[in-house]
Structure 1
Amino acid sequence: MKKRFLVTVMLLSACSQLPTERKVEVDTLHVPVKSTVPAATSNVPEEIIIENDATAESLATDFEHVFVDTDMTFSGTLPCADCPGITYHLNLFRDGRFAVRQEYIDRNQVSIVRGIWLLEKRSLHLVNQQQTLPAFHFLSNHQLAMLDLSGKAITNENYQLQRETEFRKLDTRQAMLGLYSLSNNEASFTSCSSGETLAVANTQHHLPVMRQYQQDERLNGNSVIATLVGRRGQDEQTNTLFIDKFEQFWPSAVCPDQVQPGKLQGVVWRAEKLANRYIPQQLNIRVIFEKNDRLYGFAGCNNFNANYKQRSSQLNVEQLVSTRKFCADSSELENKFTQSLQSADRVEVNGDTLQLFQNNKLILQFKPAIN
């Protein structure tokens, strides 16, 4: 009896050390099952189970972090100061590289730029030593917004690129103008715009180019300006040019960066305006005036040539000789161009702009072709 009383007193004494102000509702308390993990590892957090992609996206956004853990493709059209817009195809590779295709709408101008990307929280910077590219902000894992000059994201939808559902390879084809050389059936092409020299692959599209070069006495053994549509190889073939479409040789032309201000001859001129109307640049209407009083070019569908006379600023273009193909998308404009070229009576070259006049009225305007 004394022993039982002593035990009861001790228990009551122990209970009296508990804080009286702390109350626990037993019916709402979830008591965890005791783990068999040793005490040394008991602080390891439990695995978080994310039920869907939306949850994962919100978690990344909440903590201002975006993870490029897979190859991604973003695309869209961004505004342009002096054109209807620039279409973008941007590929981000998880190894830190990027490749982007920029194509100016209503121009025959395509840029393929490669480099590395840097990610600072949600700000994406595309780094290339030769070219400056816009920076972007990840609004989400599926949306990029262009940054303004102060580094803030532009919320206007016109300045945003959307992620595509699947990764898509870049179309690297582009119009090119450069120096073509051939020796022992090995050809090279040096771009006038970038100065890069690429080996030309001996494909089915290149073989006719080689034959034409070898059969023309003016060309054989010399470097000559050529215009074509081509693409660079991938991976180990990145220094190789694959020709998709050959246009023509321009034997008396030089690269635009070698053009002297005020010089008419030896320049591949691309038509920019017909009267007050801008000419779609993808038509590639071009002409060159040679020193031997001959001119030739491409009018959007057909090749042409003619004799001309220039005395000071006076110009007389004789009747053109042309091929006779019909192209539904360019023949009407081509006819107006060739008529205007033949009716010109005065020429002016101001800097990098060539202008042709009739009765002191501007009828044609050209810029040096860079591709």
Structure 2
Amino acid sequence: MKKRLIFTALLLSGCSQLPQERSADLQTLSAPAAEQITTEPQQDIVIENDATAEAMATDFEHIFVDTDMTFSGTLPCADCPGIAYHINLFRDGRFAARQEYIDRNQVNIVRGIWLLEKRSLHLVNQQQTLPAFHFLSNTQLAMLDMSGKPLLSNVNYQLTRETEFRKLDTRQAMLGIYTLSDNQASFTSCASGEMLAIANTQHHLPVMRQYQQDERLRGNDVIATMLGRRGQDDQANLLFIDKFEQFWPGAVCPDQIQPGKMQGIVWRAEKIANRYVPQQLNVRVIFEQNDRLYGFAGCNNFNGSYKQRSNQLNVQPLVSTRKFCADSSELESQFTQSLQSADRAEVNGDTLQIFKNNQLILQFKPAVN
């Protein structure tokens, strides 16, 4: 009996060894000698990128828009140097976006609601279409391609979150119909057809006086160009003028243009010979019905007279103001000289072309802002 008890005690003491101690013993027995361990160098993974590359998220955390965010950057454009974006995402589900087409003097302000589908961001507006984006991280948006995959290529298709929320700049170049009655003015955009009341600020009062004192304008609806912005919240139906440019008596909105008609349209210079005109210079001209013309050449206002018979065009010497602008005076001189040397004009669709000796010297498009 004593022998059986002693044997049982020995078995129990053999089973009482701690697990970690036994594991250490096993590792000691099974580990190879240090000099026999070899590690292959890790190879870099090369990812071939193109305009329709596969989606690759750099992290996998959930995306939450739990605070107001600002994303900005410049995305590629098919027929311009790029489109500068400023997108504000509000935590209540709204968004506001500013698209500025570089070198076109064209700014779009779009508002609506945003929808988040997993990591894909959709900006919804019933009138205008904006690109969709993918959250690569909570600080980086990549534009989606037509198949709904992020564009990852050597060309930058990404917007970056700014460290602080930034208010949207809503100023836009505008062309539309100015109306004044009983000291209350309104502006109807030629581009959208929307009518807004004009706020009586310090920038509007000189405009109102000019309208009231000019017999060509007083009591009439007249095309005007300006830099303005729409009010916010309870002032959303007000237009605030930041910079007034000029009135264009006798002009009509571009959508009222008759085929082949040259008169009564504010034409924006697109090319001088083979040279594109920077759109921000706003080089414009209007040919009135009474054989008068006037416009803006990038730095100075000008006016003069012209004769047109069929397609034949003759422009008399122009009268101009005499300001000097370092960034536009050379181009302005080339523009006015070309206009005065014209001998033929043709309107093809929405394009006005002016020739000298059968050589194209000026090309215009209807101004929309």
Aligned to 1:145: 142
Q: CA RMSD in A?
A: 1.9
Using the alignment, how far apart are the partners of 1:152 and 1:368 within structure 2?
Answer: 37
Matched, 1:169 2:161: no
* 1:335-371 residue CA offsets vs partner (Å, 9 max, x unmatched): 0000000000000000000000000000000000000
Query: In structure 2, the residue corresponding to 1:218 is in which secondary structure?
Result: coil
Cα offset, 1:26, TM superposition: 9.2
- Write the letter of the residue equivalent to 1:78: L
Using the alignment, how far apart are the partners of 2:193 and 2:20 within structure 1?
Answer: 79
Using the alignment, how far apart are the partners of 2:60 and 2:79 within structure 1?
Answer: 38
Aligned to 2:251: 253
- Write the letter of the residue equivalent to 1:327: C
Using the alignment, how far apart are the partners of 2:347 and 2:174 within structure 1?
Answer: 24
Moved more, 218-227 or 131-140: 218-227
Structure 1 moving runs of 4+ over 4 Å: 23-27
Matched, 1:112 2:101: no
Matched, 1:271 2:269: yes
Alignment of 1:271-350 (within 5 A): 271-350=269-348
Using the alignment, how far apart are the partners of 2:80 and 2:238 within structure 1?
Answer: 32
Alignment of 1:19-168 (within 5 A): 61-62=59-60, 65-156=62-153, 158-168=156-166
2:181 aligned to 167, 180, 183, which one? 183
Aligned to 1:218: 216
- Write the letter of the residue equivalent to 2:318: L
Moved more, 311-320 or 252-261: 252-261
Moved more, 283-292 or 255-264: 255-264
* 1:34-55 residue CA offsets vs partner (Å, 9 max, x unmatched): xxxxxxxxxxxxxxxxxxxxxx
Using the alignment, how far apart are the partners of 1:336 and 1:195 within structure 2?
Answer: 35
- TM-score (normalised: structure 2): 0.84
Aligned to 2:352: 354
Aligned to 1:41: none
5+ residue gaps in structure 2?
1-14, 22-57
* 1:201-240 residue CA offsets vs partner (Å, 9 max, x unmatched): 1011100000000011121111110000001111111111
Query: In structure 2, the residue corresponding to 1:208 is in which secondary structure?
Result: helix
- Write the letter of the residue equivalent to 1:332: E
Using the alignment, how far apart are the partners of 2:93 and 2:220 within structure 1?
Answer: 41
Query: In structure 2, the residue corresponding to 1:67 is in which secondary structure?
Result: coil
Cα offset, 1:62, TM superposition: 2.6
- Write the letter of the residue equivalent to 2:95: F
Using the alignment, how far apart are the partners of 2:60 and 2:223 within structure 1?
Answer: 55
Relative distance call for 1:81 and 1:24 in structure 2 (3 A) is farther
5+ residue gaps in structure 1?
1-20, 28-59
Query: In structure 1, the residue corresponding to 2:156 is in which secondary structure?
Result: helix
Aligned to 1:37: none
Using the alignment, how far apart are the partners of 1:123 and 1:242 within structure 2?
Answer: 36
Relative distance call for 1:24 and 1:170 in structure 2 (3 A) is farther
- Write the letter of the residue equivalent to 1:98: F
Aligned to 1:47: none
Aligned to 1:40: none
* 1:153-203 residue CA offsets vs partner (Å, 9 max, x unmatched): 111351000000000001111100000011111111011001111110101
Using the alignment, how far apart are the partners of 1:134 and 1:262 within structure 2?
Answer: 36
**Percent identity for Structure 1 against Structure 2:** 82
* 1:100-135 residue CA offsets vs partner (Å, 9 max, x unmatched): 111111111111111111110110001111111100
- Write the letter of the residue equivalent to 1:115: G
Using the alignment, how far apart are the partners of 1:238 and 1:61 within structure 2?
Answer: 40
Cα offset, 1:78, TM superposition: 0.3
Cα offset, 1:24, TM superposition: 9.0
2:260 aligned to 256, 262, 265, which one? 262
Query: In structure 1, the residue corresponding to 2:243 is in which secondary structure?
Result: strand
* 1:229-260 residue CA offsets vs partner (Å, 9 max, x unmatched): 00111111111111011000011011001111
Using the alignment, how far apart are the partners of 1:84 and 1:208 within structure 2?
Answer: 36
Cα offset, 1:262, TM superposition: 1.0
Using the alignment, how far apart are the partners of 2:64 and 2:293 within structure 1?
Answer: 57
- TM-score (normalised: structure 1): 0.83
- Write the letter of the residue equivalent to 2:338: S
